[in-house]
Amino acid sequence: MTAITLTDLRDVLIASVGEESDLAAYGEKLRTMPFEDLGYDSLALIETSAELRRRYGVSIPEDLAAQFTTPGELLEFVNEKLAS
């Protein structure tokens, strides 16, 4: 796989918190929404990184996972890892 889409990442975000979410309602704006505003704390981002590892084989250290502030930043990181 060469890249994942924002929709792919949205699905991972929803799966990582294990509950229904209205992330789809944000559309493309999801890319720039702060994780904090979306209700994702550092634990949710660690769960997200574990789900990304399971689905796509991308490993994100826990300390780094907690530093992403928007889905767009995380998406860019994942796609850079997939491309390398």
| pLDDT per position as a tens digit, 48-59 | 999 999 999 999
**Residue 79 to residue 4: CA distance in whole angstroms:** 6
| For residues 60-76, average pLDDT | 93
Predicted confidence at residue 1, as pLDDT, reads 65
- Specify the pTM: 0.91
pLDDT at position 82 over 80: yes
Domains of the chain are 6-83 (1.10.1200.10)
Name the percent of the chain lying above pLDDT 90. 73
> What confidence tens digit (pLDDT) does each residue in 23-63 have?
888 899 999 999 999 989 989 999 999 999 999 999 999 88
